[in-house]
């Protein structure tokens, strides 16, 4: 018989706070009590069956400020049943990876009834987040005490509380001891070493661990490009046909590293269990809204929204807006070229060319700063538009958002370089612009993403600690101080911006490698710093993010592969424009174009052959997955035979039963 929540006592006197929920100031008492009951109530009654405690009890409010903060935890049994419901994969005693099942829990490695550490803290927090997000209204028509905050059956209660401003934030609590150990082995000592990816995964979850794994892998993969590119820097820049070999190596390199990454990613995610996690039928994303109805596929009651209306919003509003932004980006680019022309004229007319030589870099620096500002402003607009389009699934929302942002960022960052290369045909200006854009963007990202937030957070921490010093003589405020410090930290918005930064860097390195081979060297230097600054950002600057299971880097794999294809075309075109190659065909440009196109097609064919030859998953992983699939089919087959046998027995048909 399947074990259910209602069959077990999931209450526990040992309370370990895992998640913090903050209510807005002056929330009505009836709303507080209703929410506490909802979180605490049994699943069969529509609750989450979790444990909830106020951070500051009534008797302590005179000593400590009431912060409207609640601690949320769960009993060990509740978390184990939650692990089964979300489909967590754990290692068994026979070293295979299987979906956790409460009834067969003794078969899993490291499990015992008195072991509370079988699930990591990050997994426990993910389970609690899942339960809170799936806390849905039943018969309620509104949030008690707030008639304007409407509810309907199936509506996410937490989402309504957040959009109504009654709940200001929900975030997981740091484990101070585990965090301190992680900091020591991760970034306290700045030296060339591999990251503790398994420890990062245990603490922050698979999605963030995969980002740092990809960052590390990409950085080490850039080293051969940097080493090969450095000697070319000693050659005459104008004879850039010498870079044909370098560009050809770049094209093969960009394909191989992405294919090898997929294999390494499969090995990691199998070991972590996420490669085997089955995606359940996706439920509507919390921000999705519409008229309540019956889903014709699932039969569940949920909001319904016309796909025709969504398409109208996309094609009549979002698409024209994106096109307008692209036009504005090109307009700003032309202003940049006017500034470049002005700087060149001033330099040529100057009596002190040594002094005005620095002026030549000013337009590129200004343009790089403007690009960063435009990228960030457009990101907000893209998020608003994608949310307004009202996509039902989170995957659809992410795909539309990534598409909008990548198209704009690609044009905004690389349009000027394509214009210089193929319209102006000024290789000297191309090298100068590429170097300036790459280095300036790297410096700005380090300042905006890490150093400025870290400085602001340190100032706030000092103020809070001074306030806490006055209370420590009378009451133990260790947990109180930790939560007050953490709740004011910024919220980590996910790996989107981090992957976007690597994507643009990959473009700078691969698109124009035959013109500026030093780009890889600058990228390597930046990424070694980026690993440590991002680690600092995760541990010190932002709140702890909820762990999210992930089996790959998702749509970013396709984005990087697309960029590598574009780089083939770009580098072949640049090589075809070299004066030395043009001298071979002085009378027939058609022959030159045909040869360049033929080489480009041959290189593209080679890329696709390499992608096909190198399997995405190592042989051993393929065998393990096939074995698990076979065992699952056999189990279903045996279950079907058992059900048929029981049915025949009830009907008294013993002879037919014996033939089974």
CA atoms of 649 and 636, how far apart (whole Å) = 20
Which of the residue ranges 159-163, 350-354, 411-415, 444-448 would you say has the lowest mean pLDDT? 350-354
Tokens of 441: 């963007």
Measured between alpha carbons, how far apart are the two ends of the chain, in Å? 23
Q: Is residue 325 predicted with pLDDT exceeding 80?
A: yes
- Rounded to an integer, the average pLDDT of 30-49 is 89
Burial of 11-50, coded b for 16+ CB within 10 Å and e otherwise, reads ebeeeebbbbbbbeeebeeebbebbeebbbeebeebbbbb
- Rounded to an integer, the average pLDDT of 529-551 is 88
Tokens of 171: 């975030």
Which of the residue ranges 252-261, 457-466, 524-533 would you say has the lowest mean pLDDT? 457-466
Do residues 50 and 40 touch, judged by C-beta distance below 8 A? yes
Q: What is the pLDDT of residue 91?
A: 85
Write the DSSP symbol of residue 475.
S
**pLDDT confidence of 51, banded at 50, 70, 90?**
very high
Which carries the bigger pLDDT value, residue 11 or residue 413? 413
Tokens of 494: 């996910």
Do residues 108 and 118 touch, judged by C-beta distance below 8 A? yes
Residue 426's nearest CA partner among 240, 234, 231 is 240
Which carries the bigger pLDDT value, residue 638 or residue 433? 433
Q: Is residue 279 predicted with pLDDT exceeding 60?
A: no
Q: What is the pLDDT of residue 203?
A: 94
Phi-psi bin for 303: left (phi > 0), alpha (psi -120 to 50), beta? beta
Q: What is the pLDDT of residue 166?
A: 92
Q: What is the pLDDT of residue 289?
A: 72
Q: Is residue 653 predicted with pLDDT exceeding 60?
A: no
Which residue blocks in 233-361 are alpha helix, DSSP H? 244-272, 307-313, 319-349, 353-356
Q: Are strands 69-73 and 19-23 parallel, antiparallel or unpaired?
A: antiparallel
CA atoms of 610 and 259, how far apart (whole Å) = 8
Q: Is residue 239 predicted with pLDDT exceeding 60?
A: no
Which residues lie below 8 Å from residue 513, measured CB to CB, with a gap of 6+? Answer: 225, 229, 243, 246, 247, 250, 519, 520, 567, 571
**pLDDT confidence of 217, banded at 50, 70, 90?**
very high
Q: What is the pLDDT of residue 600?
A: 84
In angstroms, how far apart are the furthest CA atoms of the chain?
Answer: 110
Q: What is the pLDDT of residue 554?
A: 84
Residue 346 to residues 272, 338, 363, 432, 641, Cα–Cα distance (Å):
60, 12, 13, 17, 88
CA atoms of 22 and 56, how far apart (whole Å) = 12
Residue 262's nearest CA partner among 557, 20, 606, 23 is 557
- Rounded to an integer, the average pLDDT of 48-59 is 80
Q: Is residue 363 predicted with pLDDT exceeding 50?
A: yes
CA atoms of 195 and 203, how far apart (whole Å) = 13
DSSP one-letter string for 494-514: -SHHHHHHHHHHHHHHHHTTT
Which carries the bigger pLDDT value, residue 218 or residue 305? 218
Q: Is residue 366 predicted with pLDDT exceeding 60?
A: yes
CA atoms of 174 and 481, how far apart (whole Å) = 12
Q: What is the pLDDT of residue 473?
A: 46
What length does the chain have? 660
Phi first, then psi: give them for residue 298, nearest 5 degrees. Answer: -90, -20
- Rounded to an integer, the average pLDDT of 527-549 is 89
Phi-psi bin for 585: left (phi > 0), alpha (psi -120 to 50), beta? beta
3-state secondary structure of 183: helix
Q: What is the pLDDT of residue 181?
A: 92
- Rounded to an integer, the average pLDDT of 143-166 is 85
Q: Is residue 12 predicted with pLDDT exceeding 70?
A: no
- Rounded to an integer, the average pLDDT of 279-304 is 66
Q: Is residue 126 predicted with pLDDT exceeding 80?
A: yes
User: What pTM value is reported for the model?
Assistant: 0.84
- Rounded to an integer, the average pLDDT of 170-188 is 90
Which carries the bigger pLDDT value, residue 528 or residue 459? 528
**pLDDT confidence of 237, banded at 50, 70, 90?**
low
Strands (E), 43-199: 51-54, 69-73, 89-91, 97-99, 142-143, 146-150, 167-172
Q: What is the pLDDT of residue 236?
A: 55
Residues 554-597: tens digit of each pLDDT? 889 889 999 988 888 888 888 787 777 777 777 777 888 888 88
Q: Is residue 437 predicted with pLDDT exceeding 80?
A: yes
């Amino acid at each position: 018989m399947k074990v259910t929540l209602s069959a077990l006592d999931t209450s526990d006197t040992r309370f370990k706070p895992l998640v913090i929920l903050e209510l807005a100031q002056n929330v009505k008492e009836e709303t507080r009590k209703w929410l506490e009951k909802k979180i605490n109530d049994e699943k069969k009654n529509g609750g989450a069956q979790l444990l909830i405690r106020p951070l500051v009890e009534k008797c302590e409010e005179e000593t400590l400020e009431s912060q409207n903060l609640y601690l949320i935890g769960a009993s060990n049994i509740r978390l184990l049943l939650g692990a089964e419901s979300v489909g967590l994969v754990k290692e068994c005693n026979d070293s295979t990876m299987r979906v956790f099942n409460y009834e067969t829990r003794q078969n899993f490695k490291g499990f015992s009834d008195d072991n509370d550490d079988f699930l990591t803290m990050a997994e426990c927090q993910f389970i609690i987040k899942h339960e809170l997000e799936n806390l849905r209204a039943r018969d309620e028509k509104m949030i008690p005490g707030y008639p304007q905050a409407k509810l309907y059956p199936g509506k996410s209660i937490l989402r309504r509380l957040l959009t109504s401003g009654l709940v200001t934030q929900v975030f997981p609590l740091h484990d101070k001891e585990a965090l301190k150990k992680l900091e020591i082995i991760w970034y306290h000592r700045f030296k060339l070493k591999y990251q503790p990816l398994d420890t990062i995964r245990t603490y922050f979850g698979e999605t963030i661990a995969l980002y740092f794994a990809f960052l590390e892998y990409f950085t080490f993969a850039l080293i051969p490009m940097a080493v090969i590119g450095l000697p070319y820097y000693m050659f005459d820049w104008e004879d850039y046909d010498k870079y044909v070999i370098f560009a050809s190596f770049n094209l093969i390199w960009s394909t191989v590293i992405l294919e090898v990454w997929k294999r390494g990613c499969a090995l990691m995610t199998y070991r972590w269990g996420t490669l085997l996690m089955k995606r359940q039928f996706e439920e509507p994303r919390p921000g999705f809204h519409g008229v309540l109805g019956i889903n014709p596929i699932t039969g569940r009651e949920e909001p319904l929204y016309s796909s025709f209306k969504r398409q109208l919003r996309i094609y009549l509003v979002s698409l024209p807006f994106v096109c307008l932004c692209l036009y504005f980006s090109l307009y700003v680019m032309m202003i940049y070229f006017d500034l470049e022309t002005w700087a060149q004229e001033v330099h040529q007319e100057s009596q002190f060319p040594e002094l005005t030589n620095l002026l030549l870099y000013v337009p590129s620096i200004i343009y790089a700063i403007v690009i960063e500002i435009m990228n960030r402003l457009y990101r907000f607009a893209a998020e608003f538009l994608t949310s307004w389009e009202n996509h039902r699934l989170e995957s659809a929302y992410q795909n539309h958002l990534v598409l909008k942002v990548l198209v704009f960022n690609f044009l905004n960052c690389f349009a000027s370089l394509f214009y210089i290369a193929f319209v102006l045909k000024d290789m000297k200006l191309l090298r100068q612009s590429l170097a300036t854009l790459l280095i300036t963007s790297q410096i700005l990202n380090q300042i905006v993403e890490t150093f400025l937030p870290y400085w602001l957070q340190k100032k706030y921490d000092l103020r809070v600690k001074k306030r806490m010093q006055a209370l420590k003589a009378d009451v133990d405020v260790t947990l109180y101080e930790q939560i007050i410090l953490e709740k004011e930290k910024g919220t980590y918005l996910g790996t989107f911006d981090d992957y976007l930064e690597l994507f643009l860097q990959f473009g700078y390195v691969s698109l124009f490698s035959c013109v500026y081979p030093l780009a890889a060297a600058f990228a390597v230097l930046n990424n070694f710093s980026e690993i440590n600054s991002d680690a600092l950002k995760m541990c010190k600057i932002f709140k702890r993010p909820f762990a999210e299971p992930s089996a790959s880097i998702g749509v970013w794999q396709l984005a990087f592969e697309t960029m590598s294809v574009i780089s083939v075309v770009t580098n072949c075109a640049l090589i075809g424009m070299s004066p030395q190659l043009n001298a071979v065909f002085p009378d027939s440009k058609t022959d030159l174009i045909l040869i360049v196109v033929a080489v480009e097609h041959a290189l593209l064919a080679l890329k696709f052959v390499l992608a096909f030859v190198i399997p995405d998953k190592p042989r051993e992983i393929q065998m393990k997955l096939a074995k698990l699939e076979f065992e699952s089919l056999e189990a279903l087959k045996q279950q079907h035979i058992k059900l048929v046998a029981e049915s025949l027995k009830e009907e008294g048909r013993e002879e037919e039963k014996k033939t089974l």
